[in-house]
Structure 1
Amino acid sequence: MSILVFGTSGQVARELQRQSDQVIALGRDQVDLSNPQACAARIADTDAIAVLNAAAYTAVDKAEEEESLATAINGAAPAAMALACAARGLPFVHISTDYVFNGAGEMPFTPDHPTSPLGAYGRSKLAGEEAVRAACGVHAILRTSWVVSAHGNNFVKTMLRLGAERDRLTIVADQIGGPTCAAAISATCLAVARQLIEDPSKSGTYHLSGGPDVSWADFAREIFAQSGTACEVVDIPTSDYPTPAVRPLNSRMDNATTETVFGLPRPDWRAGLKDILNDLGALKV
C-alpha cells in the first residue's frame, strides 16, 4: 500500500523516503512541477492510497523576480494534484508555510487567521492553499516554518559552516518563530495521510512548527551550544540585514488543532536539532 510523494531531493521528501518504505517519490526527472497536467496524469495512473506534495519553489528572495514560475509550481501544480486526487478519492497532504501571514503582532497564528502574505513566495503558496481547498477533496494543508535537517541548505548547516570560520556572527533577533525539523514534518505528513484515509472528516488546514518559539539569534546559540562551536552571537534587528523579500517578524503558529484532531503533539526542535547534529557528525559529546 504505497504513498505517492512529489519531491525527492528536498528536506521533507528525503525524510519521507528515509522513514517509510511505502513511499514512491517522484523527482524532477519524472514529473515537471511547472507542468500541472503532468502532475495530474501521474496521480490518475497511480495505485497509491494517498498523495503527499513535498515539492515546492522555495527560493524566497528569487521569487520576487520569478513570481510567475513560483506560482506555477506552488499554486497551479498543487491545484492540479488536488483535483486529480479528488477525482480518485485519494487523500492529499500539501505542505504550506507561515509566509502566508503578514507577521504582525506577537500572538501565534491560528489556522483560521486571515492570510496576508508580504511577498511573492507567500502569495504563491497561498494560491496553492486556496486551490487545494477549492478542489473539495479529502485533504490536509500543513503549514510549517523554519525547516531544518541534515540535508540540503538550511540555517543549521549554514551556522555550522560560518561558526567554524568566524569567532563572531551577527544574527537577526527580532524575527520569532518555531524551527521545525524535516523529520518531524515527514512523520506528521505520514500520520495525517493515514488518518485521513480512515476519517476524511479531518480534512482542513493545520499548523506544525517546532517549540518553543525562538529568535534566529537564540536558535543559532543553541546550535553552537549543542555542537560545541565557539562562536559569539550578536543580536541585530531585521533592518540591519535587508533582503529582496520581506520576512515576517512574527512566525509563531498555534499547533493546538493539529494535536486535538490528529493526536500529534508539537515537536521539540531542540531534540530534533540533536538528531540533526548527530547525523552530521557535529554533536558535542
Structure 2
Amino acid sequence: MLLLLEPQHWTDYELIDSGDYEKLERFGKYILSRPEPQAVWQKTLPESEWQSMASASFKREKGKSSQDGNERGEWVQKKGMPDQWFIEYKYKEMHLKFRLGLTSFKHVGIFPEQAENWNFIYDTVKSLKVNEPKVLNLFAYTGGASIAAKSGGADVTHVDSVKQVISWSRENMEASSLDNIRWIVEDALKFCRREVKRGKKYNGIILDPPAYGRGPDGERWILEDNIAELMSLCRDLLETDNSFLILNLYSMGFSSVIAENLLKNYFPNAKTMEYGELLIPEKSGKRLPLSVYARIKNIRS
C-alpha cells in the first residue's frame, strides 16, 4: 500500500518555503536557511524575505562536496541566535524533547519528516502483545526513533558508529525524561552479525542507513553494496510474530518501490506492509519529499 505521509503533530517545526536547492524552516522560535538538493523548483518568497527571516544561514564551503550526502560549510548567525536550543514533539502520551545544534554538515540533529515514523513506532510498540518488547535501532543518529520506542515501553538498543552522536542521543533521552536505553558505538553490520551468532531476537527493527558511511574502525558502508546483507541479517533477528520493521532511505537514487521490494524479498510472510514517501508541506502548497520508507507489521488480531 503506497502512502505519502506528512507530519501532522508538529508545533515546534514548520517548512516556510523551499526552492533553488534550499529550504527555510522554523525550529521552535528560530528560522534557518540551509541547502536542500531535492528543492529543484523556484522559491515562492523573495530572497530579501529569506534573508530578513533567517536567524542563521548555512553557507556551503566551495570544493567540499562529499559522497555521504553531507554539505560542508559554516553557519552565519544573526545576533541572538544560539548554537544550541531545544524543541518538543508531542503525540498522544508521547512527549519528546530534542536538543538541536548548528553542525558543520548543515544538519541540526533532527529530521522532522520522521515524526510519522515516530508515531508508528509508538503506536506499534503499544500494540505488541509482549511485555517490554525489544527494539533495535540501527544507524540511529540522535535517537528520535529510539526515544519514541522507549516512550511506548520498549527495551531499546541504539546503534550508531559515532560516539559524539551517541552522547547527543543520550541528551535527548534525558531531556525527554526517559532512561535505560542501551547505547552501542559500533558498525551496524558487525553488530548484526554478532547478534545473529548469539541467537538474539528483536520485536522491532528500525533501519535508517545512509548512502555512504564509516564505522568507528573505518569500516566502509555503501548502501548499494551492503543493504542486501543487512536485510538478510535483520530477517534472522526479527521475531516472526509480534514484530515490526521500518526501512528508511535517503539516497536520491532509491525509490519507495525499491524499499518495498527489499521487504517483500526478505519478509515475504509479513502480515501487513506499506511503503511510500515522507513529505513536508509548506505554506505555498508545495510539498518537499525528503525520504522513502517501507514498513511491515506481524501482529495477530
**Which has the bigger relative contact order, CA under 8 A and spacing at least 6?**
1
Whose helix proportion is higher, 1 or 2? 1
Q: When you count strand as a share of all residues, which structure comes out higher? A: 2
What is the TM-score of this pair, normalised by structure 1?
0.34
TM-score by length of 2: 0.32
